[in-house]
């Protein structure tokens, strides 16, 4: 996937083609503005107010307790970013805007609140790039409420893809055991428990993540089948005899030696014939152009975790070294730009 400027009419299309549009300025300015506009509207309850139907500026101001003088420009900005439509002085939500409503079946509110953490996490990006020195945020002091927003945001994003992966990983019919490494929010384990009625899962993650994950799993009603273990995956004991080990969105937080060790630990934790499942961001490697997701993710994880995304070639090499065979890549409809590998112990 790539972000870009979309012209509205032929004149703009021609100007863009001719190189007359300052694309860098336009992209950076509007991207910066979009974040603040959407987060402000969320905090003020604008999307929830419009969920009841089209309304005027004054009506939305009354519902949200805001000033109509300030709300008018905010609604204009939301209109420009295509989150609302305006007709005869009344505003209504677009499909994109409706997903910002609390309680909507396709709501992305929890994920958008997770985005607020990025401002804190990337505050030292310039210094990290200049000096090459960075820390892993998982082991740093963070603001109050950080882990709650972070884990619930990840849990919300995990919903559709977790169900697709669980449907495509075959386990035995008896009483399979699953180890979810770094899966603090627990939603990947929940998806497998829903599919396999006798499955028992263990989630290994850091104490702050486990504290939130236990609550999320209890809300889903699976606290009796999903157990949490506090520990750093690099030093903790993983146990053994598992039928499947999940390494979901965790390898990008590890440097190359730690990735190789994690896959070897996964092999030791599995019974013969067991399955390791790797799910992470896709990366084309060092010789090809990157899309927006891979390029930004490489920088983001460098700054956040002193690591980065790993190419399929590197992952397959580590899996081979760890003793996995029949390594297969599968495509995911619910999460484009990802890599989904399975290997047999």
Which CATH architecture best describes the domain 120-344?
A: 3-Layer(aba) Sandwich (3.40)
pLDDT score recorded for residue 124: 80
338 compared with 328, residue with greater pLDDT: 328
If one compares 2 and 302, the residue with the highest pLDDT of the two is: 302
What pLDDT does residue 262 have?
97
What DSSP assignment string belongs to 296-324?
A: HHHHHHHHHHS-----HHHHHHHHHHHT-
pLDDT in the model for residue 205: 96
Asked if the domains 10-102 and 120-344 are classified in one and the same CATH topology, the answer is: no
- DSSP output for 34-76: HHHHHHHHHHHTHHHHHTTS-B-HHHHHHHHT--HHHHHHHHH
**Confidence band (pLDDT; 50, 70, 90) for 145?**
confident
What pTM, to 2 d.p., does this model score? 0.77
Q: How far apart are CA 165 and CA 181, in angstroms?
A: 16
Average pLDDT over residues 46-75: 95
Query: Which segment, 15-19, 307-311, 315-319, is predicted with the most confidence on average?
Result: 315-319
Bridge partners of 342, per DSSP, are: 277, 328
Domain residue ranges of the chain, discontinuous segments joined by + = 10-102, 120-344
267 phi and psi angles, rounded to 5 deg: -60, -45
109 Cβ contact partners less than 8 Å away, ≥ 6 residues apart? 42, 100, 101, 102
> Is 170 or 275 the better-scoring residue by pLDDT?
275
Which residues make beta-bridge pairs with 204?
181, 229
**pLDDT, tens only, 195-235:** 999 999 999 999 999 999 999 999 999 999 999 999 999 99
We find that the CATH architecture of domain 10-102 is: Orthogonal Bundle (1.10)
Residue 123 has pLDDT above 80, yes or no: no
Lowest-pLDDT range of 91-95, 113-117, 217-221, 311-315: 113-117
* pLDDT of the residue at 1: 55
Which of 182, 169, 239, 177 is closest to 210 using CA atoms? Answer: 182
In angstroms, what CA-CA distances link 214 with 6, 220, 300? 43, 10, 27
The answer for residues whose C-beta is within 8 angstroms of residue 57's C-beta and 6 or more apart is 68, 71, 72, 75, 89, 91
- d(Cα 136, Cα 94) in Å, to the nearest integer? 39
How much of the chain, in percent, has pLDDT values that exceed 90? 53
**Per-residue pLDDT tens digits for 64-100:** 999 999 999 999 999 988 999 999 999 999 999 999 9
Mean pLDDT, residues 171-200 taken together: 91
- Res 338: pLDDT: 86
pLDDT at 116: 72
């Amino acid at each position: 996937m790539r972000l870009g400027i979309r012209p509205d009419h032929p004149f703009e299309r021609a100007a863009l083609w001719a190189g007359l549009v300052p694309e860098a300025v336009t992209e950076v300015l509007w991207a910066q503005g979009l974040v603040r506009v959407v987060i402000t509207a969320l905090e003020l309850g604008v999307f929830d107010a419009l969920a009841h139907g089209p309304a005027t500026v004054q009506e939305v101001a009354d519902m949200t307790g805001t000033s109509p003088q300030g709300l008018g420009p905010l609604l204009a900005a939301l209109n420009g970013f295509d989150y609302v439509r305006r007709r005869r002085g009344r505003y209504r939500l677009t499909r994109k805007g409706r997903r910002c409503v609390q309680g909507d079946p396709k709501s992305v509110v929890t994920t958008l609140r997770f985005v607020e953490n990025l401002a804190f996490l990337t505050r030292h990006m310039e210094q990290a790039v200049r000096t090459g020195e960075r820390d892993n945020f998982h082991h740093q002091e963070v603001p109050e409420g950080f882990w709650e927003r972070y884990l619930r945001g990840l849990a919300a994003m995990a919903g559709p893809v977790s169900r697709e992966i669980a449907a495509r990983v075959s386990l035995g019919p008896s009483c399979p055991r699953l180890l979810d490494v770094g899966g603090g929010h627990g939603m990947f384990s929940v998806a497998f428990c829903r599919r396999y009625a006798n499955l028992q899962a263990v989630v290994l993650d850091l104490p702050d993540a486990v504290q939130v994950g236990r609550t999320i799993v209890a809300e889903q009603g699976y606290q009796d089948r999903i157990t949490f273990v506090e520990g750093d995956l690099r030093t903790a004991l993983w146990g053994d005899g598992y039928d499947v080990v999940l390494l979901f969105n965790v390898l990008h937080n590890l440097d190359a030696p730690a990735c190789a060790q994690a896959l070897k630990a996964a092999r030791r934790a599995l019974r013969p014939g067991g399955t390791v499942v790797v799910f992470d961001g896709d990366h084309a490697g060092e010789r090809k152009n990157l899309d927006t997701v891979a390029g930004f993710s490489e920088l983001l994880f460098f700054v956040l975790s002193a690591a980065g995304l790993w190419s399929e070639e590197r992952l397959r090499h580590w899996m081979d070294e760890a003793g996995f065979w029949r390594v297969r890549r599968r495509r995911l409809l619910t999460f484009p730009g990802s890599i989904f590998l399975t290997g047999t112990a």
